[in-house]
Amino acid sequence: MSKPTRLTIDDIARLAGVSRTTASMVLNGRAEQYRISAATQERVLATARDNNFQPSHSARALRSGCSNTLGLVVPELTNFAHASLAQAMEPLCHQAGYQLLVVTSNDEPEQEAAGIEHLIARQVDGLMVVPCSPEPEAYIKWRSRLPLILVDRRLDGTPLPYVVTDAESAVTSLLLDALNSGASEAYYFGGQPYLSPSIDRLNGFRAALTQAGLPEQPGWVRARDYRRSSGYALMQECFRDLGRYPQVLFTGSITLLEGALAFISEHRHFDVAPKRVLTFDDHYLLDCLPLKIDAIGQDSAALASASLAGLLGLLQGRAAASCTVPAVLHWRSRQNTRGGD
């Protein structure tokens, strides 16, 4: 099978019977400035159309200093929250006149660094990053090269602007409802303890215990990372240690919940599962489960809108103010249909 041939502007000029300079002026929208005739313009444009040719975006960006592209870095697109963020962000970028380029870090700093360097090499005008490292130096370095805003996770004690969900108060409200219903214990499954979402969600969990007058006991708080496999391992470990399921279980992400439910389902334990299951992140499939799972939903549209607005402000030379987006509580334990509060 022959390798496809990539046409250059020299090929278009030759096929149209004009000089390379003339072809370049026409294809880059500068024909009127240099008084190139309408007939010549049409000949060059028709040749380009017939051969599906587009001028080099990178070359145009180098000349103009603007690529009209933005970069988004997320840990995983298999994570519903991150996928929802990217999905909400793309049309907003399009409406603002930008193309969105998305790369994933897999929550690995080296992969994240490689992805960001790739986006910078592609001449993106600005970056929106869900950071995977607690170390601010790298992000501050990139911020010195182009506008950058953090999304979903923040780095406290740094000048880096961020847009995050108000997780702490939401977790407190959700758990306090379960504890006020008579539960005498609650277990927490979380991700990497150094990430700001983990800090906020655990703070909210502990605030609820304090308000309910329930002292935290050893083993109630367990953390690994936010992968599905960790949710399975934490549920397996907890069931082994207790010889039963906890009365109340809070998982710090939908992926951890998936893993915990996989263990329960694998052992056909839905009849002896935790009396109350709570989770951060929401998904419509939770409406279809035998367990009534109360969830904290992130407003992906609001996160995307606020993040993009902050980044566009930076591109226009304005300072970006950090902001917190309210979460939404979905009380499945209270009603048969999905509702909000």
Separation between Cα atoms, residue 112 and residue 241, nearest integer Å = 36
74 with 121, same domain?
yes
The arithmetic mean of pLDDT across residues 94-119, rounded, is: 94
Instruction: Note the pLDDT of residue 308.
Output: 96
SS3 content of the chain, % helix, strand, coil (to 5): 45, 15, 40
| Contact by Cβ (8 Å): 115, 74 | no
- pLDDT at position 105 over 70: yes
- What are 37-70's pLDDT values in tens digits? 888 888 888 888 887 776 655 555 444 456 789 9
82 with 48, same domain?
no
The arithmetic mean of pLDDT across residues 1-15, rounded, is: 70
- pLDDT at position 160 over 80: yes
293 with 308, same domain?
no
Instruction: Note the pLDDT of residue 60.
Output: 52
Could you give the angle at which helices 254-266 and 228-242 cross, rounded to 10 degrees?
Answer: 50
Instruction: Note the pLDDT of residue 98.
Output: 93
Q: Is residue 175 included in any domain, yes or no?
A: yes
- pLDDT at position 299 over 60: yes
Segment among 46-55, 111-120, 128-137, 184-193 with least mean pLDDT: 46-55
Q: Is residue 60 included in any domain, yes or no?
A: no
Give 261 or 340, the one with higher predicted confidence.
261
What's the chain's average pLDDT?
Answer: 90
Instruction: Note the pLDDT of residue 341.
Output: 46
Q: Is residue 335 included in any domain, yes or no?
A: no
How many domains would you assign to the chain? 3
193 with 286, same domain?
yes
Q: Is residue 2 included in any domain, yes or no?
A: no
Structural domain for 121, as ranges: 67-164+300-325
| Contact by Cβ (8 Å): 180, 341 | no
The arithmetic mean of pLDDT across residues 219-244, rounded, is: 97
Percent of the chain with pLDDT over 90: 72
